[in-house]
């Protein structure tokens, strides 16, 4: 009885999409709550991963490799974005050690 | 079995994600991020995206998190941050409300439209023992065939990102006055 129930409940695409929504929501809360720019960046990575997960789930569901190709490009752009963002953070932190995002809300030099 | 993999990987993902948000030490947050990224890689394997799972481990867990840890060490911010005091009284309740709203809306949309999305196209080729690299072949046909222009533009993007970062982080040398 129990094993039949477990074997019947195979995860469907909806499960993956709901998990992706949870991950995206946690990332959103992190970006809104945390004030350390590095940790905010990590939360943005969480949100990107949530999107990647939903793309892969849709690729499986629709039988289309295009979803996986999109994830490939998202990863490349995420890598470029991390490089630029960390460069900005390093150059700000070098001038003001220990700055958080409220201290650097004015972008003009 | 599939259910077991899903539950374990989902627990990894959610535990890691919550760890990123609530851990006050930046290094601990980065390590929690690794947990999440590995969980997502497991999900990719479960969804027959084998090449993307390998890229996920190599690029994200291997390169990006190491870059994060490197910057944390370089800047010397590897100390516990005071996250008990909140700067604005309403910020955290509002953030939680926004997060729950996002989760609720997306979940409602997903559940409401769960029967709408249907299969189309030639379908994913599931790799098996007879043809283990079919996923890579299919993905590379797509990247280097249908999306080859986007692929070339991506190379331009990477060059721009590297050059821009070098320009951003370069120390301007102080002009040395020539002793006359």
Instruction: Tell me the domains of chain A and their CATH numbers.
Output: 11-95 (1.10.287.3510)
* A37 touches B: beta carbon within 8 Å: no
Considering CB atoms only, which of A18, A38, A53 is closest to B26? A38
B154 CB contacts (<8 Å, ≥6 apart)?
A73, A76, A77
Domain limits at B132?
128-171
Tokens of A51: 């999107």
The answer for B 53-72 residues in CB contact with A (under 8 A) is 55-56, 59-60, 63-64, 67-68, 71-72
ipTM associated with this complex: 0.86
Final residue of a structural domain among B28, B61, B83: B83
Largest CA distance in chain A: 68
When pLDDT is cut at 50, 70 and 90, the band that residue B91 belongs to is: confident
CB contact under 8 A, B154 and A19: no
Considering CB atoms only, which of B52, B122, B147 is closest to A56? B52
| Matching residue, tokens 């989760």 | B103
Q: CATH number of the domain that B26 lies in?
A: 1.20.120.1200
What mean pLDDT value characterizes chain B? 86
* Secondary structure of residue A34 in the 3-state scheme: coil
Residues of A whose CB is below 8 A from B66? none
When pLDDT is cut at 50, 70 and 90, the band that residue A7 belongs to is: low
Shortest Cα distance from B136 to chain A (angstroms)? 10
User: Quick one: pLDDT at residue B125?
Assistant: 72
Tell me how many domains chain B contains: 2
């Amino acid at each position: 009885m129990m094993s039949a129930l477990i074997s019947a409940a195979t995860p469907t695409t909806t499960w993956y999409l709901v998990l992706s929504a949870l991950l995206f929501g946690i990332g959103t809360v992190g970006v809104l709550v945390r004030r350390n720019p590095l940790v905010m960046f990590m939360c943005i990575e969480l949100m990107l991963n949530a999107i990647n997960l939903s793309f892969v789930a849709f690729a499986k569901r629709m039988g289309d490799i295009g979803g996986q190709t999109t994830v490939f490009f998202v990863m490349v752009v995420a890598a470029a974005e991390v490089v630029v963002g960390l460069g900005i953070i390093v150059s700000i932190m070098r001038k003001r050690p220990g700055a958080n995002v409220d201290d650097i809300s004015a972008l003009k030099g | 079995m599939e259910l077991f993999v899903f539950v374990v990987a989902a627990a990894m993902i959610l535990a890691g994600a919550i760890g990123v948000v609530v851990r006050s030490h930046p290094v601990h947050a980065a390590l929690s991020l690794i947990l999440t990224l590995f969980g997502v890689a497991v999900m990719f394997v479960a969804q027959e995206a084998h090449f993307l799972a390998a890229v996920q481990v190599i690029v994200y867990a291997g390169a990006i998190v190491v870059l994060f840890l490197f910057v944390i060490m370089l800047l010397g911010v590897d100390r516990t941050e005071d996250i008990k005091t909140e700067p604005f009284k309403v910020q955290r309740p509002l953030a939680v409300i926004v997060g729950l709203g996002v989760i609720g809306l997306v979940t409602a949309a997903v559940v409401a439209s769960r029967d709408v999305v249907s299969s189309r196209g030639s379908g994913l080729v599931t790799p098996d023992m007879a043809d283990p690299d079919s996923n890579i072949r299919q993905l590379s046909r797509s990247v280097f065939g249908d999306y080859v222009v986007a692929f070339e533009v991506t190379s331009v993007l990477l060059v721009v990102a590297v050059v821009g970062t070098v320009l951003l982080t370069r120390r301007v040398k102080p002009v040395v006055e020539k002793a006359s």
